[in-house]
Amino acid sequence: MCGIIGYIGKKEIVPLLITGLKRMEYRGYDSAGLTVLNNDSKVLTRKKKGRVADLEQLINSEKIHSNIGIAHTRWATHGFPNDVNAHPHNDSQEKISIVHNGIIENYAVIKKKLLSEGFEFRSETDTEVLCLLIERFYLKVNDLELAVRLALNEVKGTFGLAIVSTYDPDKIIAARRGSPLILGVGDNEYFVASDASALIEHTKNVVYLDDDEMAILSPDGYITKTISNVQTNNEVKTLEFDLEQIEKGGFEHFMLKEIYEQTQTITDGFRGRLLIDEGNVKLGGLRTVKEDFRNAKRIIISACGTSYNAALVGEYLIEQLAQIPVEVEYASEFRYRSPVLFDDDIVIVISQSGETADTLAAVQEAKQRGIKVIGLVNVVGSSIARQTDAGIYVHAGPEIGVASTKAFTSQLTILTLLALYLGRMRNISSEEGLKIARELSAIPEKIKQILNIAPEIEKIAKTYSYSRNYLYLGRGFNYPVALEGALKLKEISYIHAEGYPAAEMKHGPIALIDENMPVVFIAPKDEIYEKIVSNIEEVKARKGKVIVVTNIGNNELDRLADHIIKIPETLPILTPILSVVPLQLMAYYTAKELNRDIDKPRNLAKSVTVE
């Protein structure tokens, strides 16, 4: 969450910074600001509550020329979203300017000390505390880099930050701890950003900073070192996506584009890994831990949000195919409840960004206990990818819409591959493996069939777009899909929605059902189909509005359902990859009917890098 970009080179900086902020706006959009150096006396800072476009309008009339600066788009943590609390924050003499992602946990103690020494504060933010702390040290040591290192040694919490100052006008100083930061290496120009999307149109050559590492950028190059001043030598990596992947490509919203991309991203997930003719799976990223999986007595999957819902499907998959007990934990609770871990456990963490703070904390907790940790992440080179013992990249490509869609189905694809890999290793026959592999390879074409009925789904969404509450119900593999469908609707339409196992409805939620309550059932024809039909009967008896997702060819529910969405038939274990797609479309079209900001829903950010 929050986006940082900084640049030093020969280009005019304001258009570059504004474009970079727009590329990262999905990380935070409460306010935006920039600082450039264009004289020797003071930093020039402009900031504005609202979207990046509001900042752009503010500075359009000014003739600002510079080749060095920093910028920020904010998701508020400390302090209300307003002009004053927007980043960048400056020191008392307007000579040091800082942009910051993360949270300074001991800011109150530091602020009290600074107040006692006569420093004055303009904002309510923890970031201004850090800026004034740097100023305090600079006034003592007369060395900006040293002042930054001394300040960072005093703070507790997380930070990804970039600093410019008239004290040292040919440098950008950047540092990170627990919040992502990457350097872009161009042709006699250098960048710092919290997200590769801000850099991709300028360079594909990047350096990932590690925790407690800083970088000093100048027109002549860059150096990296630890905060304790030990020089480091980080490898330059190449970004694996292109600019067109983060453009809308003719779609009205990124979310809709990403829903339609699922036919390709699922294929990308299993390409080169799914050995269809053998009914098996090749996962090169797990070769160093293959024996650990063979000997594992239990798997714990930890994740947040949409990734948590994918993890629940993973629990069903692995237990059914590999007969290994699985527990699913919210990453935000994992390290705080003293989890009982055994030497032969394996912890799997799932994160689209690979930077989710709670999930990263779960990684560190498990590793401290000596447990093998496997990462399922989408972003190559992310913190979780670098800190886990082994892993599998999801290969969903950049996901810009805040409400995750293609990353979810890609995660389900990877979890299916993993379950089949473990199953073949332990107890599944080649014949059964062959059946699963063939069906998984057919999933992208079946998603195309669902996308072809999008206009029908849009009509249903419009019919109930003004409902105040929704229930989503499923059983077995499709219970987590009910959770995900409800989450999508909440995220982008702001309609209250809850997902439940269908049988749990009668233990409380049934009290909510009346003629104004839409209830969405995921009801494929599987071994528990008759049970969910009984649950539909219970809702219908109470005049609830029934929307059913079921298989093509199943006409038994016509007498009960107010609306039916039919999806292609597949194996029960693969149904979630199909059944979630109409729920994504329902959420999208509902939000569109209500004129919501679909790609940037209120109060949310794409990558939650603070606790």
Q: What is the 3-state secondary structure (H, E, C) of 536-582?
A: HHHHHHCCCEEEEEEECCCCCCCCCCCEEEEECCCCHHHHHHHHHHH
Cα separation, 370 vs 300, whole angstroms: 14
Q: Can the peptide bond before residue 339 be classed as cis, meaning omega within 30 degrees of 0?
A: no
CATH 3.40.50.10490, the chain: domain bounds? 243-446, 453-598
pTM flag (> 0.95): no
Given this model, what pLDDT does residue 243 score?
A: 65
pLDDT in tens, 419-431: 999 999 988 999 9
Tell me which residue has tokens 């196992």. 501
**Which two structure tokens, joined as six digits, stand for 296?**
């594992």
Given a cut of 70, the residues of the chain with pLDDT beneath it are 1, 27-28, 40, 75-79, 242-244, 605-611
Domain 3-239 CATH superfamily: Aminohydrolase, N-terminal nucleophile (Ntn) domain (3.60.20.10)
Cα separation, 491 vs 583, whole angstroms: 13
Give all strands (DSSP E) within 130-242, no chain letters.
159-165, 172-177, 182-185, 190-193, 205-208, 213-218, 221-226, 231-232, 237-238
CATH 3.60.20.10, the chain: domain bounds? 3-239
Task: List, in order, residues 6 or more apart from 245 with CB less than 8 Å away.
Answer: 397, 398
Given this model, what pLDDT does residue 245 score?
A: 72
Answer yes or no: are the C-beta atoms of 277 and 421 closer than 8 Å.
no
Given this model, what pLDDT does residue 459 score?
A: 97
Task: List, in order, residues 6 or more apart from 565 with CB less than 8 Å away.
Answer: 453, 456, 457, 460, 547, 548, 549, 550, 582
Cα separation, 248 vs 569, whole angstroms: 31
CA distances from 439 to 274, 404, 413, 574, 578 (A): 11, 24, 12, 8, 12
Give all strands (DSSP E) within 231-344, no chain letters.
231-232, 237-238, 274-275, 280-281, 298-303, 326-330
Domain 453-598 has CATH 3.30.465.10: no
Answer yes or no: are the C-beta atoms of 525 and 554 closer than 8 Å.
yes
Task: List, in order, residues 6 or more apart from 273 with CB less than 8 Å away.
Answer: 281, 282, 283, 417
Give all strands (DSSP E) within 75-165, no chain letters.
89-90, 96-101, 159-165
Answer yes or no: are the C-beta atoms of 220 and 244 closer than 8 Å.
no
CA distances from 160 to 9, 99, 200, 609 (A): 21, 8, 19, 10
Answer yes or no: are the C-beta atoms of 576 and 481 closer than 8 Å.
yes
CA distances from 192 to 68, 175, 376 (A): 11, 10, 26
Answer yes or no: are the C-beta atoms of 166 and 42 closer than 8 Å.
yes
Tell me which residue has tokens 């003499």. 93
Query: Which residues are annotated as catalytic?
Result: 2, 606
CA 53, 55, 58, 63 torsion-angle sign: negative
pLDDT in tens, 363-396: 989 999 999 999 999 988 888 988 999 999 999 9
Continuous segment of H or E residues that includes residue 376? strand 372-377
Closest CA to 195 of 151, 153, 162, 163: 162
Cα separation, 416 vs 404, whole angstroms: 19
Task: List, in order, residues 6 or more apart from 490 with CB less than 8 Å away.
Answer: 496, 497
Architecture (CATH level 2) of domain 243-446: 3-Layer(aba) Sandwich (3.40)
**Which two structure tokens, joined as six digits, stand for 427?**
């107890």
State residue 570 phi and psi, 5-degree precision: -155, -175
